[in-house]
Amino acid sequence: MEQPNLDYLNQIADGQPDVIAQFLGIIAQEFPGEAERYFSLIEEKDSIKAAAIVHKLKHKISILGLVQGRALAIAHEEALKIEDYQHTDAFAVVLKQIDEFLKSN
C-alpha cells in the first residue's frame, strides 16, 4: 500500500524547504477538521456534503503523493453523489495514513 510522501511536494516546490513547510503547515491545519467533518457526515448519511469534503481532501491527497489514494477519492466522491458508500472503509484507511504522516512531520 502506498504511503504519503513529499516527492510531489518537493517537485512543485523545487526543493525549497520553506515552501514545503508552508504547504505542510496549511495541510496540517486544515486536514484534521476536514477529516472530522467527513466522518460526521458519513455517520449522518449526508452523502452529498460528504462528497464535497472528499473533493477538498482529494487535492491534499494528491499533494502528499498518494496516486492510488487520489483515484480512490475520485471514485468515492462520485459514488457518494449517488448515495453509494462502497469506498468508505478504504477511504478511511487513506485518511488515517495521512493523519499519522502529518503527526510525524
Average pLDDT over the chain, rounded to whole? 96
Contact of 99 with 32, CB cutoff 8 Å: yes
Residue-level pLDDT at 89: 98
- What's the predicted TM-score (pTM) here? 0.94
35-60 confidence digits (pLDDT tens): 999 999 999 999 999 999 999 999 99
Looking at residues 55-80, what average pLDDT do you find?
Answer: 97
Confidence at 3, pLDDT banded by 50, 70, 90: very high
Confidence at 105, pLDDT banded by 50, 70, 90: confident
Q: Which region holds residue 65: left if phi is over 0, alpha if psi is between -120 and 50, else beta?
A: left
Indicate the domain borders of the chain.
Answer: 7-104
Alpha helices in the chain (DSSP H): 7-12, 17-43, 47-63, 67-80, 88-104
Residue-level pLDDT at 16: 95
**Cβ contacts of residue 54 below 8 Å, gap of 6+?**
38, 73, 76, 77, 80, 91
Confidence at 31, pLDDT banded by 50, 70, 90: very high
